[in-house]
Amino acid sequence: MFRRSLIPALIVAAVLAAGCVSSTDIEGLQAQLGDVQRQLLQLQQQTSSKDEVADLRDEVSTRTQALIKSEADMMVGLEQLATQIEQLQASLGDTNYRLTQLSQQITATNQELQAVRSSLGGALANPGRAQSPVVKPPEDPRALYQAAYNDYLGGRYDLAILGFRRYLEAFPGTDLSDNATYWIGECYFSQRKYAQAIQEFDAIVTNFQRSDKKASALLRKGFAYLEMNQRNQGIVQLQSVIRQYPQTDEADLARQRLDSLGVDPS
């Protein structure tokens, strides 16, 4: 699942768009405000009539109100944009989920196809024995993955690790390979085998360039180091989460953890 690549681009575009529209408005207003203030000063220096000063004061007040309103509008607009982005992100997540389901189905179908082909091949080579082809029933990748995930949820970590490893061996290079690796890491983490957990989280960062689990994996790696009392390593990992994935929830979590450690997040 590779949802993250699109999100930063969306956010940048949104912020740029919002920035363009509003900055012209505000600059204009600010320039006008500056002019009015200058005139006010000049008038006061020339000690002209009090009415004129009062008029100008009213004008300043009106324009200030307009400026405040314009800024408020902009904030509302930004908030709406943020919500829209969040909903897009969520629906992208759903789409990814469905895509993953599909990809699992394709893997399963391919398995069946291969099994049928090999049995057909055998039948063609030995026409006399075509009646009893020995077809080994292919393992269903979905069932295998789900059983392993089920074991993870139930706290049967050794079984879960076995299951995910078998999945990775039997079905390499599927959309869920990074997830399976991640869960193996989580299983080790749950068993307090932090060094092994770190190995798996590393594998995600190096083997799955486009994985949406990279930020999570890096963060978990940092947490694992902290659990092992390797404070400096942990801090370095958390800081790199913030540097590499600044717009993510993981970066926020890394910041909070660094904060609780009394370390400057940057």
Partner 1 sequence: MIKRWTVAAQTLQHALASGLALSTVWVSTQIPAAAAPQDQDEPAQDITVVLEQGQQRARFRIAVPDPDTSAAAPRTSVASLDLTTVLRQDLEASGVFSVQGPEQLSVLSLTGDRLRDAPLYQSLGNELLLESAVREEKGLLVLEGRIFQLSGGETILGKRYRGGYELSRRMAHTFADEIVRYFTGRRGVALTAIAFHSDRDGLTRGGDPRREVYLMDYDGWNQRAVTAHESMSMSPAWSPGSDAIAYVTYVENELVSIYSVDVRTGAKTPVVRSGGFNSSPAFSPDGRKIAFARTVGGGNTEIFVSHRDGSNLVRLTNANGIDTNPAWSPTGREIAFTSGRSGRPQIYVMGAEGTDLRRATFTGDYNDGAEWSPDGARIVHSSRRSSGTSFDLALTDLTTNETRLLTAGVAGSHESPSFSPDGRRIAYQTTRSSRTGTDTQIYVVELAGGGHRQLTRQGHNWAPDWSGYLE
Binding footprint of partner 1 on the chain (CB under 8 A): 79, 82-83, 86-87, 89-91, 93-94, 97, 146-147, 149-150, 152-155, 182, 186, 190, 213, 216, 219-220, 223, 249-250, 252-253, 256-257, 260
Least distance in Å: CB of 189 to partner 1? 8
Amino acid found at 115: A
152/208 with CB nearer partner 1: 152
Least distance in Å: CB of 191 to partner 1? 11
Least distance in Å: CB of 82 to partner 1? 5
Least distance in Å: CB of 87 to partner 1? 5
- Residue whose token pair is 């009415």: 51
What is the Cα–Cα distance from 243 to 88, expressed in whole angstroms?
Answer: 24
56/222 with CB nearer partner 1: 222
Buried b or exposed e, range 62-75, using 16+ CB within 10 angstroms: ebeeebeeeeeebe
149/168 with CB nearer partner 1: 149
100/118 with CB nearer partner 1: 100
Least distance in Å: CB of 103 to partner 1? 15
Amino acid found at 215: A
In sequence order, the 6+-apart residues with CB closer than 8 A to the CB of 222 are 234, 235, 236, 237, 238, 241, 254, 257
> Crossing angle of helices 177-190/141-153, nearest 10°?
20
168/241 with CB nearer partner 1: 241
216/239 with CB nearer partner 1: 216
31/99 with CB nearer partner 1: 99
What is the Cα–Cα distance from 177 to 173, expressed in whole angstroms?
Answer: 6
Backbone conformation region of residue 230, classed left if phi is above 0, alpha if psi is from -120 to 50, else beta: beta
Strands (E), 46-153: none
Q: Which two tokens stand for residue 17?
A: 């768009």
Beta-carbon-side half-sphere exposure of residue 92 (alpha carbons within 13 Å): 15
Query: Which candidate, 99, 92, 86, places its Cα nearest to that of 248?
Result: 86
Least distance in Å: CB of 70 to partner 1? 20
Least distance in Å: CB of 145 to partner 1? 8
